[in-house]
């Protein structure tokens, strides 16, 4: 790697670039941990993404969204593993401290048949999924960078705590309950990957070295590819009510018009930078100020860290604040 980037190796990373890469390393470890849990139960377990042995009933419910969901889950997981490993190796190659979250792998695994029984960083069993990304990307007049808060596509998911994986084999018995869990996963996939899409674009604006910019510009759009795929699949989640907890997945094509119509998966042009400009098709949000902390807050509000220690929150917050202090130049 030193040969591939002699200028950077000689000068080392700027403090800000290292801080941004460390925060992204942490984010990728978190992504890897949650995707691994999905893969163990509903993906393809193989040499590339080892661990788990699958839950046939859960995988079948997830496959209602698309027959290739197991492959996509596998490939998304493989991508996250590679993101985390690459950023870690890059930091190491430049003599920078890396990020190790292993001591926080303390949260319980699903007890469902197919999951490994190991400690986890993230909790997929009490999620509160913000589904405003759905309407945000369909609105031609709203943009979170202007302070807008587009409405939820699935208001119920944003208001309670729901499992996105079976907590145990008991969750497999009632078909509509199981499908609600699979639907929750389907919307959670989109939430996670649209967040990554924005995060890379936000942090790229504050890196200094062109090679670090190249890293962010090369990884970030893969998050957008994931987002786009999951965005399409989530629209296939069948409308239903979970009989165990009342969670409603509405018929998105029946209500709401263009703000919820499922096949509107291309980003609708919207306002950007200043209203004096014409609307434009963009990812959103991209404002860079405090972007890392915003990501931590979003993941925390998602319920991913329920059960984690105060020390975990402190470590993640410190990494985010250091990244948000980085300035271009
Ligand atoms: Fe990633
Ligand atoms: Fe991702």
pLDDT in tens, 14-42: 999 999 999 999 999 999 999 999 999 99
Q: Which two tokens stand for residue 281?
A: 């098709």
- Residue 136's pLDDT band, with cuts at 50, 70 and 90, is very high
Please identify which residue in the block is written with the tokens 């405090």: 290
The Å distance, Cα 159 to ligand 1 centre, comes to 26
CA distance 116 to 187: 24
CA distance 222 to 250: 29
Query: How much is the pLDDT for 255?
Result: 72
Percent of the chain with pLDDT over 70: 97
The Å distance, Cα 274 to ligand 2 centre, comes to 29
> What digits encode the pLDDT tens for the residues 195-240?
999 999 999 999 999 999 999 999 999 999 999 999 999 999 999 9
Q: Compute CA distances 217 → 37, 229, 234, 314, whole Å.
A: 27, 19, 26, 28
The Å distance, Cα 80 to ligand 1 centre, comes to 4
The Å distance, Cα 249 to ligand 2 centre, comes to 24
The Å distance, Cα 89 to ligand 1 centre, comes to 15
Query: How much is the pLDDT for 2?
Result: 45
| Averaged pLDDT, 125-152 | 96
The Å distance, Cα 226 to ligand 2 centre, comes to 7
Collapsing DSSP to helix, strand or coil, 249 comes out as: strand
Query: How much is the pLDDT for 16?
Result: 98
Report residues near ion ligand 1: CB below 5 Å: 28, 31, 80, 83
Query: How much is the pLDDT for 12?
Result: 86
- Residue 10's pLDDT band, with cuts at 50, 70 and 90, is low
Query: How much is the pLDDT for 1?
Result: 46
Nearest listed ligand to the Cα of residue 28: 1
CA distance 267 to 272: 13
> What digits encode the pLDDT tens for the residues 55-79?
999 999 999 999 999 999 999 999 9
Q: Give me Rg for the CA atoms of the chain.
A: 20
The Å distance, Cα 240 to ligand 1 centre, comes to 31
| Averaged pLDDT, 177-184 | 98
| Averaged pLDDT, 288-303 | 98
Query: How much is the pLDDT for 8?
Result: 61
- Residue 257's pLDDT band, with cuts at 50, 70 and 90, is confident
Nearest listed ligand to the Cα of residue 80: 1
The pLDDT mean for the chain works out to 96
CA distance 156 to 90: 41
**The whole model's pTM is what?**
0.96
CA–CA–CA angle 193, 195, 197 (5° rounding): 70
Higher pLDDT pick, 12 / 203 = 203
> Rounded to the nearest 10 degrees, how much is the dihedral formed by the CA atoms of 237, 46, 102, 28?
-50
Report residues near ion ligand 2: CB below 5 Å: 31, 193, 196, 223
CA distance 284 to 259: 16
Query: How much is the pLDDT for 11?
Result: 66
**pLDDT higher than threshold 90 for residue 7:** no
| Averaged pLDDT, 152-169 | 97
Query: How much is the pLDDT for 59?
Result: 98
The Å distance, Cα 148 to ligand 2 centre, comes to 24
Q: What is the DSSP letter of 269?
A: P
């Amino acid at each position: 790697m030193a040969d591939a980037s002699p200028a950077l190796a000689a000068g080392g990373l700027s403090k800000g670039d290292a801080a941004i890469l460390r925060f992204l390393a942490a984010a990728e470890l978190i992504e890897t941990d949650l995707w691994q849990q999905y893969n163990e139960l509903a993906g393809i377990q193989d040499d590339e993404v080892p661990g788990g042995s699958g839950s046939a009933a859960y995988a079948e419910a997830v496959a209602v969204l698309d027959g290739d969901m197991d492959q996509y889950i596998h490939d998304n997981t493989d991508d996250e593993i590679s993101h985390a490993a690459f950023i870690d190796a890059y930091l190491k190659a430049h003599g920078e401290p890396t990020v190790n979250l292993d001591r926080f792998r303390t949260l319980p695994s699903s007890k469902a048949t197919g999951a490994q029984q190991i400690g986890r960083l993230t909790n997929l069993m009490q999620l509160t999924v913000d589904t405003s990304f759905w309407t945000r990307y369909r609105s031609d007049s709203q943009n979170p960078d202007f302070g807008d808060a587009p409405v939820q596509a699935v208001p119920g998911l944003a208001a309670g705590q729901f499992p996105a994986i079976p907590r145990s084999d008991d969750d497999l018995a009632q078909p509509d309950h199981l499908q609600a869990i699979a639907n929750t996963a389907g919307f959670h996939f989109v939430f996670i990957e649209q967040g990554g899409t924005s995060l890379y674009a936000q942090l790229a604006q504050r890196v200094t070295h062109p090679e670090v910019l190249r890293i962010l510009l090369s990884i970030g759009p893969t998050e957008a590819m994931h987002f786009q795929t999951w965005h399409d699949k989530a629209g296939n989640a069948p409308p239903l009510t979970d009989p165990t907890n009342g969670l409603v997945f509405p018929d998105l094509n029946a209500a709401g018009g263009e703000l919820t119509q499922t096949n509107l998966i291309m980003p609708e042009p919207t306002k950007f930078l200043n209203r004096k400009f014409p609307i434009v098709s963009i990812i959103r949000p991209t404002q860079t100020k405090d972007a890392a902390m915003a990501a931590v807050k979003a993941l925390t509000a998602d319920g991913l860290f329920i059960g984690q220690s105060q020390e975990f929150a402190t470590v993640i917050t410190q990494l985010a604040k250091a990244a948000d202090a980085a300035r271009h130049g």
